[in-house]
Amino acid sequence: MNWPRISAFLLLLIVINPLMVSGFAALENGGIYHFKCMGHIDGNRWLDGVTQENRVWLAPTTTGGYTGTSWQAIEVEPGIYHLKCMGHIDGNRWLDGVTQENRVWLAPTTTGGYTGTSWQAIKVE
């Protein structure tokens, strides 16, 4: 299967209005967020989970059927979150960084071998 390769670094370049704790962005536990890629080249920008295909990509907008652009932040320890795709179609939901393959996808769970499902938001501006 040909997975889109989205750098985990780019996923940290997000637009949120967080409370700051020692340089890390504090997301509200249970809050719903949109994540916007801040790359300097024009193109799609919104992190979108395609649940029926277990993949993520960048969507052009957060409306008009792109329901996978909404993500719930679930705090699992201070400053560490699992990001759950809130898309309307059944499928895997957990953002998982597969570091050894330089890719991300949607995992079926946050336990077991899915160690890349823990994320830390870092303020970049």
The amino acid at residue 83 is L
Domain boundaries, the chain: 8-117
For residue 74, what are its two tokens? 């679930």
The 10s digit of each residue's pLDDT in 63-119 is 999 999 999 999 999 999 999 999 999 999 999 999 999 999 999 999 999 999 999
pLDDT at 7: 42
pLDDT at 23: 57
49-76 burial code (b ≥16 CB/10 A, e <16): bbbeebbbbbbeebeeebbbbbbbbbee
Alpha carbon distance 123, 16 (integer Å): 9
SS3 68: helix
The 10s digit of each residue's pLDDT in 7-44 is 433 343 333 333 434 456 789 999 999 999 999 999 99
pLDDT at 122: 87
For residue 124, what are its two tokens? 């970049």
Quick one: the chain helix, strand, coil %, rounded to 5? 15, 35, 50
pTM exceeding 0.85: no
pLDDT at 75: 96
